[in-house]
Amino acid sequence: AQSVTQPDIHITVSEGASLELRCNYSYGATPYLFWYVQSPGQGLQLLLKYFSGDTLVQGIKGFEAEFKRSQSSFNLRKPSVHWSDAAEYFCAVGAGWDKLTFGTGTQLKVEL
Amino acid sequence: KAGVTQTPRYLIKTRGQQVTLSCSPISGHRSVSWYQQTPGQGLQFLFEYFSETQRNKGNFPGRFSGRQFSNSRSEMNVSTLELGDSALYLCASSLDGGRGSSNEQFFGPGTRLTVL
Write out residues in chain A with pLDDT < 70, as ranges. none
pLDDT at B18: 98
The answer to whether the bond into B8 is cis (omega within 30° of 0) is yes
* Of B19, B1, B23, nearest in space to B91 by CA: B23
Residues of B in contact with A97 (CB under 8 A): 31, 94, 97-99, 103-105
Average pLDDT in the B61-79 region?
Answer: 97
Instruction: Report whether B97 contacts A96 (CB < 8 A).
Output: yes
Give chain A's length: 112
DSSP A47: E
pLDDT at B82: 97
Residues 6 or more apart from B98 whose CB is under 8 A from it?
A96, A97, A98, B31
pLDDT at A111: 96
Put simply, whether B107 touches A (Cβ < 8 Å) is yes
Instruction: Report whether A48 contacts A60 (CB < 8 A).
Output: yes
Residue of B66 and A43 predicted with greater confidence: B66
pLDDT at A42: 83
pLDDT at A97: 81
Rg (CA), chain B: 13
Residues of B in contact with A105 (CB under 8 A): 42-43
Residues of A in contact with B33 (CB under 8 A): 98-99
pLDDT above 70 for B50:
yes
pLDDT above 90 for B104:
no
pLDDT at A23: 98
Average pLDDT in the B71-96 region?
Answer: 96
At B1, is the pLDDT very low, low, confident or very high (cuts 50, 70, 90)? low
Average pLDDT in the B13-25 region?
Answer: 98
Residues of A in contact with B94 (CB under 8 A): 97-98
Average pLDDT in the B22-45 region?
Answer: 94
3-class state of residue A69 by DSSP: helix
In angstroms, the Cα distances linking B19 to A41, A84, B16, B65, B111 are: 21, 35, 10, 11, 11
Residues 6 or more apart from B38 whose CB is under 8 A from it?
B44, B84, B86, B87, B88
Q: Which residues of A touch B (CB under 8 A)?
A: 32, 36, 41-46, 49, 51, 90, 92, 95-105
pLDDT at B32: 95
* pLDDT over 90 percentage in chain B: 84
Instruction: Report whether B6 contacts B107 (CB < 8 A).
Output: no
Question: Is B56 in contact with A99 (Cβ distance < 8 A)?
Answer: yes
